[in-house]
Amino acid sequence: MTTGGVFDSVLLALLSLVIGGLLVSLVIGGVSRRRARLLKLAEAHLLPRLAPVDLGSAIPRAIRLGLVGLLAGLALAGPRWGEEATAMRGEGVDVVLALDASLSMLATDERPNRLERMKQEVRRYRDLSRGDRVALLAFAGRSYILTPLTVDDGAIELFLDNLDPSIVGQAGSSLARTITQGTDLLLATKTASDRALVLMSDGEAFESPEEIALATQRAKENGVYLVTVGFGTTEGSTIPVGTEDKPELKRDEHGEVVVTRYNPETLRTAAEGAGGTFIDAGATDKAARIRGALQGLRSAPRAMAGGTSRTPRFQWFLIPALLLLGLDT
């Protein structure tokens, strides 16, 4: 958290120093000139009787007025320090982002790999859809809820940064289970908006088409709009599993190098079965297409995270200025 102070107008803050000094000079100078004029008319020992002009008492008064000018100027300059949360209002829908974190997502037929490209699209989608309440679901052979529905981009970013195959553990990709869990997660929360499940994957599923069809049909019957988004290429790619010091490729039980291929038909069929939208891996503007697919859904007003702003502190200068001014009235 930033704790340093700033001014809305640095120029006015600097001018307040000049104003304070001028007030001190004007008061002391005025008293001195008045005393000098009186000395021309009478002896010094007669001045207290004729017209009291005490330079000793004028100096504290001049300093007080100088401080009044300085403090008032600083208050007008808009001093701010410390931070406070700011909230914004917006509209959006409830969305579960189901993200494929299986080992095949480390394939490099998308740069730097399928997984990182998917993360980039999630971030772009959030930039376009701040009003949406989002939950993250990671899946491979099983699916895991990473975050509940939230507008907290900090929480989403934290889990997104750390998403990799080690999070989900079990090998393979279970689309049917993921669609079922995503649907359940959406239905578990009351909302005035429509609900959507955005499933991002390379389409390599180890379930029968019938199992996936049952899950998509249930989502449709419960009013969950399904969007499937593809990653990878049909030509396929090997899967790096080693380290930079010791690079290795994924091999099967026979010692053969594994080649993973993007399967668009699985994702297309799932989207069509739910009456949703399929976005092919070849699309270069996936985030915008996701946003477009959800544009027609019913949204609901909600508070959004608005970041932080520095807290105004003008009263810390204005109140002492008024108190000092009161001493001279």
Can you tell me the distance from the alpha carbon of 172 to that of 201, in angstroms, rounded to the nearest whole number? Answer: 12
Burial class for 118, CB neighbours closer than 10 Å (0-12, 13-18, 19+): buried
Can you tell me the distance from the alpha carbon of 220 to that of 239, in angstroms, rounded to the nearest whole number? Answer: 34
Q: Is residue 224 over pLDDT 90?
A: yes
Find the helix or strand (DSSP H, E) in which 90 lies. Answer: strand 79-92
Q: Are 87 and 304 in contact (CB under 8 A)?
A: yes
The pLDDT assigned to 261 comes to: 96
Confidence class for position 320, pLDDT limits 50, 70, 90 = confident
Range name among 63-67, 164-168, 278-282 with the lowest pLDDT average: 63-67
Give tens-digit pLDDT for 157-212: 999 999 999 888 766 789 999 999 999 999 998 888 999 999 999 999 889 999 99
- Give the number of other CB atoms < 10 A from CB of residue 78: 17
Can you tell me the distance from the alpha carbon of 313 to that of 301, in angstroms, rounded to the nearest whole number? Answer: 32
Confidence class for position 8, pLDDT limits 50, 70, 90 = confident
- Cis peptide leading into 240, omega within 30 of 0? no
The pLDDT assigned to 121 comes to: 97
**Short-list 96, 84, 229, 111, CA closest to 156:** 96
Identify the bridge partners of residue 145 per DSSP, sorted by sequence position. 137
The domains located in the chain, with CATH, are 6-78+313-326 (no CATH), 87-306 (3.40.50.410)
Give tens-digit pLDDT for 109-140: 999 999 999 999 999 999 999 889 999 999 99
Q: Is residue 287 over pLDDT 80?
A: yes
